[in-house]
Amino acid sequence: MFHWLEKNPFFFAVGVFVVIAFAGLIEILPNFAEASRPVAGLKPYTVLQLAGKEVYKKDNCIACHSQLIRPFKSETDRYGQYSLSGEYAYDRPFLWGSKRTGPDLHRVGNYRTTDWHENHMWDPTSVVPQSIMPAYKHMFKNIADIDTAYAEAVTVKAVFKTPYDAPNGTPLGTVDEARAAALEEAKAITADMKNQDVKDAVAAGKIPEIVALIAYLNRLK
C-alpha cells in the first residue's frame, strides 16, 4: 500500500493532509473546549445587568465601542489583560464590536466608577473634554425593562443551561423575586449617584435605564 502511495503523489498528499488534520483536531479541540468554559468566578448576568445590556444594545453603544481586547501589547498596555473566550461564556449575543470610535469597554468595570459613568452619560465632555460622544440624558428618565430582562434570563437558563440558582451562583427565582433583587441592586448603585430624580425613582420602586446600564458596565471586568 505504501509503495502505491509513493507512486501516486496526489493520493499521498491527500493521505498526509488527512493524518495531519486528524492529529491537529485531537490536539486542538480539547484545548478549545477547555478555553471556552467559564473562567473561575464568572457568574451569569443579574436581571438588572441584563436590562442594562439591552439598553447598551438599544442605544447602539456597540457602534462606537468594542468589547474585545486583542493580545497585542498596544492594547494590553491600554486596556489590561487580553480577552479570554471563557469570559464570554454567558454572553448571548457577544458584543465584541468591530469599531472603536470610543475606547474598548471589556474591562471598563476595573477603572471607571458609578459616579464617573453618571457624569459621562449626562455630559461626556465634563469628564472627557475632547469627547465626541453625545449625551444620553434620556436614560435618566426612561425606565428599564426588568420583566423582559427576566424573560431573557429564564430563556438562557432553559435553552443554554445557564446556571442560575446554582450554589454560589446568580439567583433568579420568580419574576417578583427578580424584580425585588434588581431593585436592591439598583439602590446600591444609586447610593453612589448624585442625580436626585434617579434616586427618587428608585426609592419609588422604578429603575431608570441609566442605573441598569451602569450595573452592566460595572460588571465588565
Percent of the chain with pLDDT over 90: 76
Distance, CA of 143 to CA of 149 (rounded, Å) = 13
pLDDT at residue number 207:
98
The tens digit of pLDDT for each residue in 21-55 reads 776 666 665 555 555 688 888 999 999 999 999 99
This prediction's pTM: 0.84
Strand partners, 60: none
Backbone phi, psi, residue 107, to 5°: -115, 20
The tens digit of pLDDT for each residue in 160-202 reads 999 999 888 889 999 999 999 999 999 999 999 999 999 999 9
pLDDT at residue number 2:
59
Domain ranges (residues) in the chain: 2-35, 47-219
Distance, CA of 202 to CA of 204 (rounded, Å) = 5
Distance, CA of 11 to CA of 132 (rounded, Å) = 60
Q: Which fold has domain 47-219?
A: Cytochrome Bc1 Complex; Chain D, domain 2 (1.10.760)
pLDDT at residue number 17:
82
The tens digit of pLDDT for each residue in 53-65 reads 999 999 999 999 9
As to burial, measured by CB atoms within 10 angstroms (0-12 exposed, 13-18 middle, 19+ buried), residue 151 is middle
DSSP 8-state class, residue 142? S
Asked if 185 and 160 touch (Cβ cutoff 8 Å), the reply is: no
pLDDT at residue number 61:
96
